[in-house]
Structure 1
């Protein structure tokens, strides 16, 4: 194992190695990375765990995870929302789950420089992206799911659309690298970015969830003073000093995934000191085997649920990698070197978020 991300007060090399092993233990021989043994796999968290493996030098294991997606992509370009032991558990498709393969594929290529891999996964990324963009609504947002019968609700989630935004930027980066122009994707990205940064009313109201607070930043749509103002506005609602980040603002429950993702968002807007503090605060969720418990109900002083999830460990490793300057992780979460799409000049104005 090489290239282990470390961060004083958060992870030393030995601890990082143990956290990587906690993910590898859960990976199945076919490459699948479920939440934990016996639980389901969803495509988004599967990719996040694979990205963490790449950030820690476990490239062969990460490639097996991506091959799992290549082999199981459905004819329409999607994946089911959940699988258990390779079998579909929940057949509907979620747009951000499907889109996220592009983030992982670009991250893997940036990490390994493997052109053959990128060419092999490109058809998978292209079909996935086309599936997602078929769900883009006239107002620029992306419907959050498509059911087995082909119908989709006429509603969008801010967190999901922000994740799609990041994925579209990575998909365009792959297309540019392979010299496969995708002008329709550029237009779609510009429309989505405008909806995220200027029209919060177009999304379902999920304001009580911390992800809706920080995901416009994490998904690379919001930067600069507007991003800092958004983070400041929600800080006291969601951050519990010494423990981490609430999942929802009205529950005494902090979660490791949200804490690590907020740290990534803070790093992306230049607030590394606060990012490091959040990561230090969430270390009470670290288990003896190097994995991370999903959450902690502080009113009851109890770990809940009693599960150590690969995606919580993965989010922590990616945050540490970004803070340590890992180039691939910096690129996909920083956003400065990703395509921005085509924007309508008549729509260019200060973000309202």
Structure 2
């Protein structure tokens, strides 16, 4: 037992029939091995870092009690934030001096708010929240500059500063979660942000009622479940959305397709669907999905990105920190980890102010 009388993190994350404590330890060690000394967490060493997946891996480290490593990941973001509040879309091996994609994507930038609030809830570290508040504030302000009159969030700014106002449903759904976490931070600090409340409400309305305001990417499974995972759809409406395309995207015994009609299931999408299922009270289905994808587990405790089942082939041949991270977040939610259930369950997150319309 730990000095506080609580079970060690690996034991708390163990999921009967899916993962043992020893297997959890191996997965956590695999993510930690991919982290650079400066805190950056690339997909794997030698590949690139993107800010969204960097945060996802940091959150996973927090679920496992690796708070120092997680804080180092957020310190990397704080130290290398662009003057406009953004981060670049990709950095070679997490080297801030070597951006490989200088576009600045809104959902990549917004996700820091989810990670920062998750870390605070995991640690209770007010000094950390004080240090990261200016980072979160600047990131949200960058993102909201690209919000469109209909509520949706433009995808990115190109390297030359050109705004891409087309909106992605998955990205905007992720931003919706991030805005709610940013509002939770502001509320905790007693620094109201009424503009953010309006923005979050308008965005939620667009996601729920106006699919025409987003690019048509309906052949991607993320566009199916992300309005649920991001918290814009809840209750019966969320359950109905997941049921409607279940047979289209879920391959029994293997996991979730990334995109139809390709015969390719992926670990990240499968774990995120498990989180969405947990959020709507379908924990049994969530556990089943996580059990299925254990065929992607490698000997080192990490997870292959995907599997082409018609060819019986692992593809691509890479084991990413974010795939392993999404798995740990899913088992943490199912196990009742308070920080993880708070940011993905959303019951205690501010909801913003919805527009007064019936459109």
**Bin of the TM-score, shorter chain as denominator length:** over 0.9
What's 1:65 paired with?
Answer: 73
What's 1:261 paired with?
Answer: 272
Asked whether 1:235 is paired with 2:246, we answer yes
Partner of residue 348 from structure 2, selected from 313, 319, 337:
337
CA apart distance, 1:197? 0.4
Partner of residue 183 from structure 2, selected from 157, 162, 172:
172
- Say which SS state the counterpart of residue 96 (structure 1) adopts: helix
What's 2:333 paired with?
Answer: 322
Asked whether 1:92 is paired with 2:103, we answer yes
Asked whether 1:270 is paired with 2:281, we answer yes
What's 1:101 paired with?
Answer: 112
Cα deviations by residue, 1:146-168 (Å, 9 ceiling, x for unpaired): 11222112310000000000000
User: Once structures 1 and 2 are overlaid, which stretch shifts more, 84-93 or 328-337?
Assistant: 84-93
CA apart distance, 1:273? 0.2
What's 1:23 paired with?
Answer: 31
What's 2:205 paired with?
Answer: 194
Contact 2:156–2:165 under 8 Å retained in 1: no
Contact 2:153–2:165 under 8 Å retained in 1: no
- Say which SS state the counterpart of residue 48 (structure 2) adopts: coil
Structure 1 outlier segments of 4+, above 4 Å = none
CA distance in 2, matches of 1:246, 1:69: 31
Asked whether 1:7 is paired with 2:18, we answer no
- Say which SS state the counterpart of residue 75 (structure 2) adopts: helix
- Say which SS state the counterpart of residue 89 (structure 1) adopts: strand
CA apart distance, 1:6? 1.1
Cα deviations by residue, 1:275-322 (Å, 9 ceiling, x for unpaired): 000000000000000000000000000000000000000000000000
- Say which SS state the counterpart of residue 254 (structure 1) adopts: strand
Asked whether 1:208 is paired with 2:219, we answer yes
CA apart distance, 1:10? 1.2
User: Once structures 1 and 2 are overlaid, which stretch shifts more, 96-105 or 220-229?
Assistant: 220-229
Cα deviations by residue, 1:185-240 (Å, 9 ceiling, x for unpaired): 00000100000000011100000000000000000110111111100111000000
- In the superposition, the TM-score normalised over structure 2's length comes to 0.96
CA distance in 1, matches of 2:305, 2:160: 33
Asked whether 1:302 is paired with 2:310, we answer no
What's 2:157 paired with?
Answer: 146
What's 1:56 paired with?
Answer: 64
Pairs aligned (count):
348
What's 1:137 paired with?
Answer: 148
- Say which SS state the counterpart of residue 99 (structure 2) adopts: strand
- In the superposition, the TM-score normalised over structure 1's length comes to 0.97
CA distance in 2, matches of 1:149, 1:294: 32
Partner of residue 47 from structure 1, selected from 25, 40, 55:
55
Q: CA RMSD in A?
A: 0.9
Asked whether 1:286 is paired with 2:294, we answer no
User: Once structures 1 and 2 are overlaid, which stretch shifts more, 171-180 or 148-157?
Assistant: 148-157
